Amino acid sequence: FLPERERVVLPDSMKDKPLLTISVVLPCGFEHDYFIRTAQSVYYETPAEVLKEIVIVDDASEPPLKDSWREDLAAKYGVKYVRLDKAAGLIGAKQAGAEAATGDIIVFFDCHVKPDTDYWVPYVKEISENYRRAVIPVITVLNVDTWTQRERPQKGSGMSKCYLTFDAEFKWTTDDTPYVPIMSGGLLAISRKWFFEIGGYDSSMKGWGGENLDQSLRIWTCGGETV
């Protein structure tokens, strides 16, 4: 567990404006060592007016995740559990979390993520401008033992963009535009409306990984964009 601290507050400049809410979905398979700190970090870094809920999808972990963090205690941090009795893998777990989410925006994180300060601001801003826009965070390095970030890249740099080759492999790339050809993985924000308009995740995809390629192609070919 993380030490208790003050939760961030909504900036005064945003208090009189309509706000989209977010549901953070955490697909977790046997991540007993990290999921609590991830959920707490999300809670502390997201204003109450913005965070609708944290959906923890327990992908048939043994023992169940809620044995490590009781539902009544987790609920104080805005957490609700979705338990899959049979392992569905990453893609199936993410789909189950999306179906349980009720916020305007679905944010998919892994269960070993510490969001940066004001991480939610570009999600709300960019998707408010265009609901068909997915927003990808820059990936940094987290020391999961100390729960501290290291090797913070300079603004405008870092790992976030990929491209796709004809052998269905994705490779890292950089350029000076905000647009992302292929998202790098499972960390993203997308409006709930747009997620389901493009069909969610493919139920025929099994195991862990590959959904970033499918989802990127769906977004672009259906008239959306990724930034």
pLDDT per position as a tens digit, 118-160: 999 999 999 999 999 999 998 888 888 999 987 776 665 567 8
Strands of the sheet with 182-183, listed across from one edge = 170-172, 161-164, 182-183
**pTM for this prediction:** 0.95
| Pairing mode, strands 141-143 and 148-150 | antiparallel
CA distances from 149 to 13, 42, 115, 156 (A): 28, 15, 10, 17
For residue 205, pLDDT beyond 90: no
Name the token pair of 18.
Answer: 């309509």
Name the token pair of 10.
Answer: 């909504």
User: Do the beta carbons of residue 49 and residue 19 sit within 8 Å?
Assistant: yes
Question: Is residue 111 classed as helix, strand or coil in its secondary structure?
Answer: coil
DSSP 8-state symbol, 82: E
For residue 98, pLDDT beyond 90: yes
Name the token pair of 180.
Answer: 């992302």
Mean pLDDT over the full length of the chain = 93
What mean pLDDT comes out for the span 20-49? 97
- For the chain, where are the E strands, in sequence order? 22-28, 51-59, 79-84, 105-108, 133-134, 141-143, 148-150, 161-164, 170-172, 182-183, 188-191, 225-226
Residue 139 confidence (pLDDT): 85
